[in-house]
Every structure is written in C-alpha cells, then in structure tokens.
Amino acid sequence: MFDGRVLLKQVILLFWPLISTWVQGAEKIDSCQLQVLEMLSSLGSAGGKSAKPSFVSYVTPEEIKSEKEPSRKEKHPDLLPGEVVFCSASTVLKYTQDDLSQRGVFGVLLCTNFRVSFVSDEEPTEEMLFKNKLYGENDIPLSCVDNIYGDKRKLITGGLVKNKYPSKMIIHCKDLRVFQFSLSFSKEEDAKKIFQGIVHHCLEPKSLRCLFAFSYCENTSYPGSYTVENTSYPGSYSYCREHLMWCWSHHSGCALFKTASIPLVQEDNVPQTYMEKMLTAVAHNHLYSVKTEDLSDTLPTVQDILLSYNKFKQFFLIDNTTEFWMSDMKWFSSLDNCGWLDIIRQCLQKAVEVVESLEKENTNVLIMEEGGSDLCCVVSSLVQLMLDPYYRTLLGFQSLVQKEWVAGGHAFLDRSNHLHLKDKVESPVFLLFLECVWQLQQQHGPAFQFSETYLTVLSDSVHVPVFTTFLFNNDGHRDSLLRVKTHAVWDWSVQFDCKAQDLFTNPLYTEKPKQDTSVRKSYRPRHLRQLSLPSSAFKTPPKKGFFKDEADNLKKILGVKRLSRWMLSPSSDSPQTSSSVREFYEAWQTKPLDYHGLLLPCLDGPSIRVWMQRYLRWIHDVQILGGGPVAMLSKVSEILGEVQELQRQLDRHGCTLTSNHKGARPRAKTAAAVIAARSSVRLSSSFPFVTSRNWAFKPAIPTSLLQSLMVTGMPGNLADREDDGGPESLV
Amino acid sequence: LHYAPIATISYWLPSKTNASRESLKMEPLADCSLLPGEERIIDKDIIYICPFSGALKGKVFITNYRLYFKSADADPAVTLDVPLGAIGRVEKMGGASSRGENSYGLDITCKDMRNLRFALKQEGHSRRDIFDILFKYAFPLSHGLLLFAYLSQEKFEENGWSVYKPMEEFRRQGLPNDKWRVTFINANYELCDTYPTILVVPFKATEEDLRKVCTFRSRGRIPVLSWIHRENQAVICRCSQPLVGMSGKRNKDDERYLDLIREANGTAKLTIYDARPSVNAVANKATGGGYEGDDAYQNAELVFLDIHNIHVMRESLKKLKDIVYPNVEESHWLSSLESTHWLEHIKLVISGAIQVADKISGGNSVVVHCSDGWDRTAQLTSLAMLMLDSHYRTLRGFQVLLEKEWIGFGHKFANRIGHGDKNHADQDRSPIFVQFIDCVWQMTKQFPTAFEFNERLLVTILDHLFSCRFGTFLFNCERARDTNELRSKTVSLWSLVNSDLSFYQNPFYTPESNRVLYPVASMRHLELWVTYYIRWNPRIRQQQQSPVEQRYIELLALRDEYLKKLEELQLSDSSPNSSHLSNSSTPNAASPTQHITHLHTPF
C-alpha cells in the first residue's frame, strides 16, 4: 500500500508540468479537480500522513509558469550586502488572502541568513507605496518569525525535525503577518531542505554573531551610519543594575530616579546599607522628601506580560476567515480575559501616580524593580512623555528611547530572544511601552509630532536584525561586541525612502505658539540642563525642616523590612491611591488642555483601546475600504500641504508672517505631499501597510452570526415574544 | 432664530428671541431663556444629588417644557436642563420618617440614559406639589393635556415640513417608470392604515391585486417599493410577514405579486430577507403569521437575518445603562459591555443591511420584512439605502430618509417612545430608533468623510426624539398625524436644523456619488457611542471636541488668510505705482476657490 503511494507520487511528479498546465487552464476548479489536488497534496506530504486536506476548503492556483522546472538559481530576491542564501525550493504554493476565496500563487521559497523569502513566479504587481527597502511583503526577517505550524496546525519546535516535513507550513510573524505555504507541489528533497532550513534558522538556538546585523554591518559602509552612543546618559550613570539612575528633573527641583531593587536573599544588614546609600544619594542634593516604589509589587511581572501578550496576539494571527468570524462575537470578553489592555492601563496608572508626586507634591520619586530595566523603563519613559513635551517630538522620543531603554540597560536581546535560548525570559516589554504611548497619542493626538505609523514601524523594527539599537542587553554588552560601524534604527532611510518617512509625522501636531519665540530660545537649553545631573543649585524647598525627620524615619523602616509602595504617601493602600489618581486626573481635566504641557491619559474602560493599525492591518475582512481615521487625517494633510505651499509663495514675496500661526511653519516634513499625490487612490483603514490593489468590492459578511448570541435568562422569555402581538401573544 | 440643541444646553447662550412675557419676569431663569410658548409652573429650593459632584443645593424650575436646575454655591455652577419629554418615570424616594441625609425626595428616570435624584426637606410634605406637577406635565397625555409641541410658538426661517415630498423623492429615483407605478389607492388610508398615502408598486399589479395581497399580509402592509437602483433596476421592497398560520396557508395573489417584483428587472431569484431569527419566524405561525415557504414561492430564496425583537433590544439597552450610568463599570469593562449584547445587536442589524445592499448592487431585487415591518424592517431598508445611495448621506437627504422610511412607513414612535405617557413599563416601548441612529453613527465613524452631517445632528435627533418640542417624531403613523393636524399645529425638527445647517455639517465631507459604502460589521470595529451613552459623565464630556476637526478648521482659515495676503501682494507687485493702495485693496471675504481663480489671473 505504502509502496504504491510512493510510486504514484513519483508518477505524478514526473507528469507535474502537465498536471500544472491542466490546473492552470481551469478557470474554476470543479470537484473532480479538487479531489485530485487534495490527493496530490496529501501525497506530497511525506508518508502521505494526512489524507484530509487542510482547513482551506479549496485552492485555485492562480497561475503556474508553464516553463518546465523553473530554475531556482535565477529566482531570488535582491540580496542585501552580506546576505547569503541557505536553501530554496521551487513550486511552493503561497496562499493569498487577498480575496474572500482562498487562492494561491506559486513561487520559490528561500531561506537566507537574513530572511525567509517567497519569490512569486508571477510578475510583481504594482509597487507598494509604503515599501520597506530591507524586506518586501513576501519576506520575513528571521527574527520576525514567531511561530511555525505544520499540518493540522501542529506547533513546530526546533530540534525535533528529522526527515519529516509537513505538506503545509504556516508562519506567524511578530509583526502579525501570517504566511501559509504548501510544500506538496515541490520536489521532496527541496521541500525537506527548505522546511528544515527555516526551522533551524528561525527556531533553534544560535549565537549572537550569527545575527544578520553583524554580516550586514561588515558589508556596508553606510554614509549615514549612526553612532549609537550619542545620546547615552551623561556621567557614570550608564547602567543601573547596581546604580541609582537619575531619569528626569521637574522644574521644581524634585526628580525621578530608578534603580534595581534590593536582592531578596541578603544578609540582614546589607539591604539597609544598600538602601541607605541609595536614599542618601537621592536626598543629599535634593532637600525634598522621597517616595519609593517597588514596581515588582504593583505591576505585572515580565512573565505575566508575555503570557498576556501571547493570548492577545492570537486574536490577530488569522489564517482562517471562518474562525475569525466565529471569534468575533466573543471579542470583547476574550480581549478582557487576556488582560493585555489591563496591563497597559496599570502601567499608565503607575506613571500617572509618579507624575502626581512630582508635579503636585514635588517629591522625589525612586522607582525600582528587580534588575531595574523593564517596568522601570516603561514607567520612567511614560512619566517623561506626560510631563515633558520635548519627548513628544520625533527627536525627543528617539532620545527618550535611547536614554531610558538603550542606555538604561533594557535587555533587548533577552527580551526579544533573538537567539532562542531556553534560559532567557522573553517578554514584549518595549512593545508594552509603545502600546502605552499609542494610548496617550490616541487620546491627545495634537500633542505628538510623530504619527501612529511611526510607532507601528518602530514596533516592527525591533524584529529586523539589521539594527544594533535593539540587539543588546546593555551598553557594555554592545561595546564589547561591536567593532564596526553600526546602523541605528533611527536612520530611517535604511528602511524607507523620504516619501514613506513623511508618514511618520503627525499632521495634527502644532509647535508651540509663536509668541513664545523668545521663551523657546531658553527652552531648549533647559532640556540640556535637564539632561545633566541635577545639582544642588536648586533653591531650598520649604519642606526642608521636615525632611530630616522623615528621612530618619524612613531609614528606620528600611531596616525592618523590604520597601514597598509609597513609603511616605498617606494613602498607601491601592483603592485610595487610585482614587487620588482619579482626583488628580479630574483636577487636570478641568483646566484647559495644553498640548505643550502636562498630559494625562483617561484610564476609564472605554478609553483604553486596541491599537487597530498595528493589529488589524493585515486582516482583509476588517479593512474599511475608503474609510478609517486615515480618511480624515489625509484631508488634514492635504490642507496642511496647501498652507505650506502658500507660505513658501508668501516667503518669496518677502512677506513676514507675524501673526501667531500655530504650526504653520513646519520644520519637519509632513505627509501632505505623499497623501495628496495619492488622493486618487482609495485609502483603507490599513493604510499605509496595505494599499488598494486587489480590492474585492464584495463586503465581508460575517458568518456564524447567531451561534454565540445567547439571549437566555430574559424575564418571561422575551426573545420568543412578538413585537406587537397584542395581549394574546404576551401570554 | 434658533436654539442650540439640548446636548450642549449647559452652554446655552442667552437667546435674543422675543420670549414670552411670563418668562421675562422670571428672574432666576434668566440664564436659560424660555421657548416661545413655554410657561413657568413652579420653582423650589431643592438639593440635587449629583452622582459626580455630590449633593448640591440649588433651585429647580419646572415649566411646561422642561425641568431646569441651577446649583447655588458650586463653582462653576452645575445646571441641569431636561425636557420633560425625556422623563420616563417619576417616583417618590424615602418617606417622611426616613432617616439619613437627603433620603427624602424624588427619583427621576430619564429616557436619555440618565437618572436624577432630588432631595427635599422632610417637613410639611414639601415634595407633594412638585411631584404632582412633574407627574402631570411630564406625562401630559395621561392627564388630558397637550404635548408641548402643540403649545410651542417657535418660528424658524426654514419650514421643515417641506423637506420631504414623496413624489419628488420618487422622481429623484427615476420613478415611476415602465415597470413601477405610483398608486393612490391608500389616499384615505383604506388599504393600510399604517402606510403612507403614496405607494409605488409593480406596474403590472392592478389595484384589485393590491387589495387581494393586502388580506394576506399582517396589518395589510403589502410589499411596496422603497428604493430602486438606477442602473440595474434592482429594488428594495418592504412589507410585513405573510399570514401563513399553523395550517401553512397559501395565497396565489401574494405569490404572483412577489413574482411581479422579481420580474420587474428580470432577476432570476427574488431574495426575501426575513429580519427575524428563524425560530421566531416559525413561532409566529402560531399567531397566524409566518414566512414565505419554499414550495409556495418557487422563484424566491428566503434568508433569515437573526435580529431579535423589540423586547430583547429594550432589555439590552437597559443593561447598557446599568454599566455606564452614573459610573462607568471599571472592573472588566469589556466583559460587561459584551454581556449587554448591545453592540452584538448593532452588528447583526448592520450586517443584515450589508447583505441587502450587496444583493442590490449585484442586481437582485429584495423584499425585506420582519413581523409587522415597522421596526427591524425600517432599520434594514434605511441602512441599506444609506449604503447604496449617497444622497441619503447629505444633511437634507438624511432627513428625507427618516421621513420616508421611519415616519412615513409607520414606525410606531408614539408607542416605542411613549411620548407624554405615564406608563413607563409599557411593553411596547423599545429603543429601535436609537439603535438605528447608533448604526448610522457606527457608519459615520468608519467613513468619516462620507457623510455631510456630523455627530451633533445625530445627538440632536435623539434628543428631540424624546423632547416633544417638535412634531417630527410624534404619533405612530401618517393617518394619526393627519387626524391630529400635526403639520399645521406643530413645528418640524428640520426647521431647527435647516435654519442652522453649518452647525450640523461635517467639515470632512467629500461627496462621492455612486459609491456603495460597506461598513465592516465586526466587533473589532464597532464601538460604544461614548459621546452619546456616556455624555452625562463629566470625565467623558471633555473629549467631545474632536481635535482633528479643530485642526482642520484652523488650517482652512489659515489657507484663506494666506490666499488673501498673497492676492494683496500680487496686486501690489503687478502695479508698482499703486503700491500704496495695497492696504486699502483688501478683497472682500470670498471663498477660497474664488481666490485661487484670482491667483491665476494676475492683472
């Protein structure tokens, strides 16, 4: 029986070109063809393991090049400097999700030291408007591969793959793309090789040196290369595993600090001296009281964050439309149960608490956690975003990330686990931070110079192993490994051309009004001053008299037990804290909103939302064609472009514009030109990630509508009643 | 002369209208001018127990139109301005012997997603008069009084009653034509007392046919045309359920009539959308109703859209109110929201309408019905028309849509809302129209440039759905409106709206005719209409102003200013001798397009 199958398979492979032309010629596949295709695909999988087709109901290979055995050496993407092809297989079918019906395209699947790449046999269709120069829409950088599934949606783990290979391979990417490949039409040894190659390079442990960035950097001398160290912490506070780290100073003189918390297992007197040292450091120059918060006590752990995110992302990794619509009815409760939005809310809430201490109570704040470089980074950067408008500009945000995250010692390498090492704790902490920023931006759009697209692209770039920004665990680590010039993620020209980069600016952003010109001159140096360590030059605060007692008291407490919560806050239990935050928010809310001043997020249920652009961009069924917020923003950009053009004309006339025109004179480029040029093209809610081509003008009609709608437990069984049946039907 | 809508009433400007004499005498009500025809009934010192700012001392004023409260010592003053029509229920809270602070007073349940609590002094039956007056004037019909719309003396520049003229609207659609004719058979409401007087039916159907079909459709609501696709001639027809009953009755005339509808544009199969869940449709047989069976209607396919009945919708909104008022449920907000099923119902209604619109776009005629064809049917046909026909997305077109599909075809506003009626537990009440407006809002949210009107219009419509200030939403059907001389004795809501169109205009509106708008009916994109359902919460209210809109309007103004300046400069450049005139040659305020033409034609 088995031998017979193998024989049959060989026969089929022999006549494959013939069969393929037959398939190609068919406009629509009939059931007979479907059966043969199913048989073929089941035979294609080694050993004919599953005779059942995968969940895709039918396949219409759109086109197969009729030329026999397309030479695979010719088919490869434009390789980057230092990129090497490991293996490849031709006649791989990639399922496309462009239409409501699932169809596929044949092509070559390759695995290089940078990416998994699919090169379609078809002529490339229209150019992507928002094209990434490093990888195309059918490329997956190796570190961007999240999970690989085989037949019957079995999760593939590295190291277990021997001679078998699945007939169908599904790749889930960290940027939420989903690829489905059928290997059943390829030559057996090719299919085996490519599958094993992909699994090996994407899932199995590797050494840091194998990451593509190293070969890339050695092979490029990029003129715009960045020296990453240009915005690191001044002075010796470069790394906070053992140090106290100053983050930001409020204009009143109080400041935010972060540190690694006291190790739990210690001799009794060690934490005391350690903590004492910390507090003296904070208190010495600053005659203010100190609030201390151990974030490990109040915020979720990095493991919690990973668990929650893993559940959350599943809602968007869609490889089956029916399942997608099935899950739609339970969407809100699923979202609730995975807890991701709640983690975002908790981080924002903690940041607001810290802001309150700095802004309202003018106390120093020291946040800590084990390691001091995960949630401390999240909270400290959020605090600065809320308090300091500089960090809401493109340049400011970049320096914030460099300062708090890169120089602040966030273990990017371990947290993104590029090396697939078992002993490292992977966790999307940086993504969590970007999520929080997105929430702020969503609520207070005009306050941010960068756009939503910028954040989305930044979140994707973490998984592009070309940039060294997010590749190391800390600065020391970086310095010990980097001998060559490196590429920072901030050099966006590596990934995008100028026009695409224009989409990073937010057309709603306005610079500080003009009347402040004189103020602004001194305003920039103020930031520089803030970047330097606070000196004792600050005025003696009125609280001076009390401080000594408090500090002594504090030291006493410290000697007894591990620090937790707000040491000096009168409201140290959680409900009170949250109500105080609520009051703080409400007081802030009653004042007129200043986009260049303090910003606070609303934390009510309906205000914390899902980052639609990032998570829904690839899901065809939920794209709003010709709609979405971009429809509005593009109109703003259009007008902004016109205004800027008029300004240039006026400038040519030597007209000085004296009036206070908010944001009328942009220094940064805007998206105006880009979008205006495209106004003929219909935008969708997935703009700019998915463009208009291949739009099906059929609407997506939700399937399985009623299955989960249970209207039970209604008094008197209302659901069965008549609308207006009169009294008789009400009985 | 007009008034701001109720939604923004706390910012009401003193009106310049010649308010009635009585109102001018009312000193304390000076910051809230009365409507012409509005009369003061009583005022009283009272404590408003505000769920957001706590107990507030102040004064309450009751007129024949509204309840107005102003706090005495809070800064800024807290005001309440509630049309009595929005009041659904008034109850006494606590007794003369109740202990505890502010435990004696009134509890008022409103139809617009809020409740009000007032406390009074316990001595001397202090609440008796105010309770009686409130009860009487909030529910005038239960006390033999007239609705305020009949007392109002308001005058507007525009006459809203002329917005919708059925013949004009049919002519716009290209009707009548050789397949469809206009019939006046219902001119005296003899064929169907809940239908409008002018109907469009298949050309081949005789008046006699219509009368025969009438006997087989619930309440005589026969299939008639609502909308026709200009290119492919596919039509949306609406009706009520067929009277099939337990025995599975058939009616040859009805069967033939539906086939005439199919035939009119040569569709192979007519699609009948039954809005109900199939179980309910089957259950309706027991009460004489039912659905079109396969064997009887061979050229038709029947699709159930699974939308629940008015009772389910009422309970759903009630649950929603529980989680948003006074405070937004905090723990597990999303799960709570899901458990109300409100957005799920919205999703079902929208996806039903998408299916209708999609069929029509594909050239197939459809018939839509539920049980009586005045609730779910109106939702589906009007939403589908909104998707298909860009005219209905304009400010005036939307008014026509409401007048035609909701008011004209007899959505039972009086019963569903319970205007002026004290029976708050009436099982006929249901927020079907609110749900429809929510669906429209979801569409405007997904297509922010496709609608000429803004969110303010939708909120205003819902406010006056309850307020009884205008005649627009009063009574169940045209016949009742005629009997009560509604159009001559009351003012239309569209008079208010059309006298201040710019207030309701969406600056982002980009007209695109011939574009079918398919919203995405996924929970991923549906959201709770926070600025309507949670608007009483001060934490939410602040975010009401859209910064995008603000910025856009700013930029538009800036563009105009620059154009003006540039024109001035070009004027002075081109005539160097008269450069000293540049200051005086300020052009008149004109539209930007005019400026652009000036730019291209230098002197």
Q: Do A643 and B539 touch (CB under 8 A)?
A: no
Q: Which of A337, A443, A604 sits opposite B328 (nearest CB)?
A: A604
Is A631 or A665 the better-scoring residue by pLDDT?
A: A631
Contacts of B147 (CB under 8 A, 6+ apart): B85, B140, B141, B419, B420, B468, B474
By Cβ distance, the residue of B308, B548, B565 closest to A636 is B548
Minimal CA–CA distance to A611: which of A441, A375, A495?
A: A441
User: Under DSSP, is residue A111 helix (H, G, I), strand (E, B) or coil?
Assistant: strand
Q: Is B468 a catalytic residue?
A: no
Chain A CB contacts of B284 below 8 Å: 722
Query: What band does B470 get if pLDDT is binned at 50, 70 and 90?
Result: very high
Where residue A516 falls among pLDDT bands split at 50, 70, 90?
A: very low
CB B265 within 8 A of CB B233: yes
Chain B touched by A648 (CB under 8 Å)? no
Q: How far apart are CA A412 and CA A429, in angstroms?
A: 9
Tell me what the mean pLDDT of segment A622-632 comes to. 88
CA distance linking residue A302 with residue A293, whole number of Å = 17
The answer to whether A326 and A318 have CB atoms below 8 angstroms apart is no
pLDDT the model gives residue A587:
87
Q: Lowest-pLDDT range, A130-144, A252-266, A436-450, B156-170?
A: A252-266
Burial of B60 (0-12, 13-18, 19+ CB in 10 A): buried
* Confidence bin at A423 (pLDDT 50/70/90): confident
Q: Do A610 and B309 touch (CB under 8 A)?
A: no
Q: Are B257 and B213 in contact (CB under 8 A)?
A: yes
DSSP three-state, residue A155: strand
Going B354 to B359 to B363 to B364, the CA torsion angle's sign is negative
| Closest by Cα among B149, B156, B179, B162 to B83 | B149
The reported pLDDT for the residue numbered B237 is: 98
DSSP β-ladder status, A168-173 and A145-149: antiparallel
Between A206 and A47, residue with greater pLDDT: A206
Distance (Å, rounded) from C-alpha B49 to C-alpha A695? 55
Please judge whether B309 and A510 are an interchain contact, meaning their C-beta atoms are less than 8 angstroms apart. no
- A356 falls in which pLDDT band (50, 70, 90)? very high
Q: Known binder of ligand: residue B115?
A: no
Q: Does A650 touch chain B (CB under 8 A)?
A: yes
- Whether B312 sits inside 8 A of A714 (CB atoms) is yes
Q: Please give the residue that has the higher pLDDT: either A701 or A324.
A: A324
A328, A444, A631 member nearest B449 (Cβ)? A631
Mean pLDDT, rounded, for B394-416: 97
Mean of pLDDT values over A161-185: 88
Q: What are phi and psi of B462, to 5 degrees?
A: -70, -35
Q: Mind listing the pLDDT tens digit for each residue in B357-369?
A: 999 999 999 999 9
DSSP state of A332: H
Map residue A321 onto helix, strand or coil.
helix
A331-338 and A340-359 helices, crossing angle to 10°: 60
Confidence of residue A425 (pLDDT cuts 50, 70, 90): confident
Helix or strand run (H / E) with residue A589: helix A574-590
Nearest alpha carbon to residue A169 among A187, A182, A184: A182
What pLDDT is stored for residue A657 in this prediction?
57
Q: What is the pLDDT of residue A527?
A: 39
What is the least distance, in Å, from the CA of B580 to any CA of chain A? 16
Distance (Å, rounded) from C-alpha A142 to C-alpha A418? 9
| pLDDT winner (highest mean) among A224-233, A538-547, A718-727 | A718-727
* Burial degree of A637 (CB within 10 A; 0-12, 13-18, 19+): buried
Q: Is B374 annotated as ligand-binding?
A: yes
pLDDT one-digit tens code per residue, A227-258:
443 444 443 333 444 567 888 888 877 888 88
Of A125-134, A312-321, A662-671, B181-190, highest mean pLDDT: B181-190
Q: Please check whether residue A722 touches B, CB under 8 A.
A: yes
| B310 closest CB neighbour out of A341, A705, A723 | A723
Size of interface A-B (CB pairs under 8 A): 223
User: At residue A224, does pLDDT exceed 50?
Assistant: no
**Better pLDDT: A553 or B178:** B178
pLDDT (tens digit per residue) in A560-607: 333 333 333 333 344 556 778 888 998 898 888 889 999 999 988 889
Taking only the tens place, the pLDDT of each residue in B484-524 is 999 999 999 999 999 999 999 999 999 987 789 999 999 99
**Cα angle for residues A249, A255, A257 (degrees, 5° grid):** 115
Mean pLDDT of B421-434: 96
Q: Centre a 10 Å sphere on the Cβ of residue A656 and count the other Cβ atoms it contains.
A: 7
SS3 of residue B446 by DSSP:
helix
Is A264 in CB contact (< 8 Å) with chain B?
Answer: no
Instruction: Determine the residue type at B217.
Output: R
Distance between CA atoms of B269 and B291, rounded to whole angstroms?
A: 17
Higher pLDDT, A198 or A152: A198
Least reliable range by pLDDT among A635-644, A678-687, B35-44: A678-687
Q: What is the mean pLDDT of residues B351-376?
A: 96
- At A13-43, the pLDDT tens digits run 444 444 444 444 444 334 444 444 444 444 4
Confidence check: pLDDT of A114 > 80: yes
**Residue A623, pLDDT above cutoff 80:** yes
pTM, 2 dp: 0.85
Asked if A724 reaches chain B (Cβ–Cβ under 8 Å), the answer is: yes
pLDDT confidence of A101, banded at 50, 70, 90? Answer: low
Cross-strand partners of B272: B302, B367
Q: In percent, how much of chain A has pLDDT > 90?
A: 28
A331 to chain B: closest CA residue: B523
Chain B contact for A476 (CB, 8 A cutoff): no
A629 shares contact with chain B (CB less than 8 Å): yes
Say whether residue A718 is in contact with chain B using an 8 A CB cutoff.
yes
Specify whether the CB–CB gap between B393 and B452 falls below 8 A: yes
Is residue A55 very low, low, confident or very high in pLDDT (cuts 50, 70, 90)?
very low
Whole-number Å distance between alpha carbons of B399 and B377: 18
3-state SS track over A223-255: CCCECHHHHCCCCCCCCCCCCEEEEEECCCCCE
Handedness of CA A233, A215, A131, A618 (dihedral sign): negative
pLDDT tens-digit profile of B297-345?
Answer: 999 999 999 999 999 999 999 999 999 998 888 778 999 999 999 999 9
CA-based nearest distance A687→chain B, Å:
14
pLDDT of B5 strictly over 50: no
The residue in chain B having the minimum alpha-carbon distance to the alpha carbon of residue A719 is: B312
For residue B467, the one-letter residue type is: S
> Nearest chain A Cα to B428, which residue?
A724
Segment A611-633 mean pLDDT: 90
Residue B531's SS3 state is helix
Q: Compute the nearest-CA separation of A628 from chain B (Å).
A: 5
Q: Are B434 and B317 in contact (CB under 8 A)?
A: yes
How far A593 CA lies from chain B's nearest CA (Å)?
A: 10
Task: Band the pLDDT of A128: cuts 50, 70, 90.
Answer: low
Nearest chain B Cα distance for residue A344, angstroms: 14
- Round to whole Å and give the CA distance between A85 and A73: 10
| Phi (first) and psi of residue B275, to 5 degrees | -65, -20
Higher pLDDT, A8 or B450: B450
Asked if A380 contacts A247 with a C-beta cutoff of 8 angstroms, the reply is yes
Cα dihedral B31/B33/B34/B39 (nearest 10): 50
Residue of A nearest to B306 (CA): A706
pLDDT, average across residues A492-521: 77
- Chain B CA closest to residue A602: B539
Angle subtended by helix axes B342-361 and B376-388, to nearest 10 = 50
| Residue B61 CB neighbour total at 10 angstroms | 21
Share of residues in chain B with pLDDT > 70 (%): 89
DSSP B415: I
Stronger pLDDT, A623 or B466, i.e. the higher one: B466
| Interchain CB contact of A714 with B (< 8 Å) | yes
Q: In whole angstroms, what is the distance from residue A719 CA to residue B279 CA?
A: 10
**Quick one: CA torsion of B357, B362, B364, B365, rounded to 10 degrees?**
30
Average pLDDT on A376-400 reads 95
Q: Per the residue annotation, which of B214, B237, B370, B439 is the catalytic one?
A: B370
* Long-range CB contacts for residues B277-285, cutoff 8 Å, separation at least 24: B277/A706, B277/B304, B277/B306, B277/B307, B277/B308, B278/B304, B278/B306, B279/A720, B280/A719, B280/A720, B280/B309, B281/B241, B283/A720, B284/A722, B284/B241, B284/B371, B285/B244, B285/B245, B285/B246, B285/B248
Location of structure tokens 């009616």: B251
Average pLDDT on A384-400 reads 95
Distances (CA, A) of A239 to A108, A258, A366, A415, A662: 46, 11, 16, 17, 40
Closest partner residue to B555 among A625, A640, A729, by Cβ?
A640
What value does the mean pLDDT take over residues B241-269? 94
For residues A292-305, average pLDDT:
91
For residue A276, the one-letter residue type is E
Residue B558 backbone phi and psi in degrees, to 5: -65, -40
| A528 has pLDDT over 70 | no
